[in-house]
Structure 1
Amino acid sequence: MSYQQFAYLYDELMKDAPYKEWVQFVKDRCAKFNVSGTRLLDLACGTGELSVRLAQDGFSVTGVDLSEDMLAVAQAKAEDVGIRIPFFQQNMAHLEGQAEFDVISILCDSLNYLQTEEDVKATFLNVFQHLTDEGIFIFDVHSIYKIDHLFINQTYASSEEVVSFIWNSFAGETPNSVEHELSFFVLDEGTGKYERYDELHFQRTYSIKQYSNWLMEAGFDLLEVSADFESSEPHSQSERIFFVVRKNKKAI
């Protein structure tokens, strides 16, 4: 399957994703930590679903993603609702040339698609350089528990009239990583037959302590570490870990 085909299928496959909760999480943390500005950089924005929703809630959004085809979908989506959002094709581990932002987000476990520790650390440094002194950085990742117990050696499937899929997950080559093998069956309305497309996706995560150490090395102060859209601290079976950080005054 080409990235263009996958980009257009992505929204159908993610239609039940908790987008409202992500938007509300960002708004709540901006209020909680007294962020006065509205300039927001949505890294790994994909097809722009969160970018558009955040813009509709008053943020001045810029979107960045690695996939040109994902960005084409995002741009069309923004235009369809009459919102102007600048989108840029860049790797978040090699981010450059952007302005400073009051909020930078990497949501929907997108950070887990970075394959090396070096790329994660480089991303944190890039975010630091593009964040205002009083701004905040918000991101979420899969927990080790979710990778090791809810993904690896599991099969998920969905049968719909237009798009169906089978999703098999296997242990990756590195610790706490997973390879997702996805087979899509897409109805060709012209022929009435289904076409099959295959995708392979890789995700890798780390411990809360490791993320925290890398963030502090990059110059951030931890404001909040929580789980599963709640304000409570993560526990042994938390699935999605949220980090909210701000620049350390001594590092500026």
Structure 2
Amino acid sequence: MSYQQFAYLYDELMKDAPYDEWVQFVKERCVKYNVLGTRLLDLACGTGELSVRLAQDGFQVTGVDLSEDMLAVAQAKAEDAKVSIPFFQQNMADLEGQADFDVIGILCDSLNYLQTEEEVRSTFSNVFQHLADEGIFIFDVHSVYKIAQLFINQTYASSEEEISYIWNSFAGKSPNSVEHELSFFVLDERTGKYERFDELHFQRTYTIQQYSKWLLEAGFELLEVSADFENLEPQPESERIFFIAKKYK
């Protein structure tokens, strides 16, 4: 499967994602916590949808992702949008060689793709090292409730003329983890037949207390924990948890 096909499938799966809300969230937190600069690192940027939108809103964006194919699509999007974004292929748990940033974001629950506690802690440490003094770190994750109650043993499906998918989720081997088994059926306009593509994705989350502890160990001051874009404290059935942390001099 070529990267164009994979990106088409990914963007189709994410077409209803609240990208505008993520952008607004970042902008509001920059104002709230007096971030003066605009240098922003979009870690695990994927196909660049947020990178492009943030650049269009005035940020000096750099994108980093593990997937070479995703980055190729992201670069094409940036060129189409006529914004200049340097993209680099790196694992966020092994981040190195980047300049200091005023804002670093790991958005769209991308942190949940790290499989071990050690990778999360290494990522936090690397983010701290790449933030400028007074810079902020913003990330969001799936809640434990969402993994356990809304993903595990659930099936989701979409049926449209050009592309359909079946999405089955199963409990992972690690605590608070899930495996997503995705089967896409894409219409080949040349033959009129559907072609099947399969993807397997792993996600793992932790409690708010655990993320908070790791942030403090990395040197951050935790400024805020909220849920579901609502600027409210997380509740037992909150689905998406947001963390804001700052690096002080």
Equivalence for 2:242? 242
Gaps spanning 5+ residues in structure 1: where? none
Residue 191 of structure 2 is aligned to residue 191 of structure 1 = yes
In structure 1, the residue matched to 2:46 is 46
**CA distance, structure 2, for counterparts of residue 147 and residue 236 of structure 1:** 13
Residue 72, structure 1, aligned to residue 61, structure 2 = no
Task: Tell me the distance in 2 between the aligned counterparts of 1:210 and 1:43.
Answer: 21
Structure 2 counterpart of 1:37, which letter? Answer: G
Gaps of 5+ in 2: none
Correspondences of 1:90-129 after superposition (within 5 Å): 90-129=90-129
Q: What is the CA distance between 1:4 and its match in structure 2?
A: 5.4
TM-score (norm 1): 0.97
**Does the CA-based 8 Å contact 1:153-1:168 persist in structure 2?**
yes
Per the alignment, residue 153 of structure 1 pairs with 153
1:84-128 C-alpha deviation (Å, 9 max, x unpaired): 100000000000000000000000000000000000000000000
Aligned to 1:17: 17
Give the letter for the 1:8 counterpart.
Answer: Y
**Which residue is equivalent to 1:57?**
57
SS of 1:55's equivalent? helix
Q: Could you tell me which amino acid in structure 1 is paired with residue 144 of structure 2? A: I
Q: What is the CA-CA distance between 1:152 and the residue it aligns to? A: 0.2
TM-superposed deviation, 1:5:
3.0
1:58 is paired with a residue whose SS is: coil
Shift of 1:234: 0.2
Cα offset for 1:3?
Answer: 5.5
> In the comparison of the two structures, how many residue pairs are matched?
249
TM-score normalised by length of structure 2? 0.98
CA RMSD of aligned residues (A): 1.0
Distance 1:173 1:5 in 2: 30
Q: Distance in 1 between matches of 2:140 and 2:3?
A: 24
Letter of the 1:52 partner, please give it: V
**Cα offsets for 1:3-27 (capped at 9, x unmatched):** 6532232112211100000000000
Work out the CA distance in 1 between the residues paired with 2:30 and 2:40: 11
SS at match of 1:137: strand
Partners of 1:3 and 1:67 within 8 A in 2: no
Distance between the aligned counterparts of 1:2 and 1:107, measured in 2? 25
User: Runs of at least 4 residues of structure 1 off by over 6 A?
Assistant: none
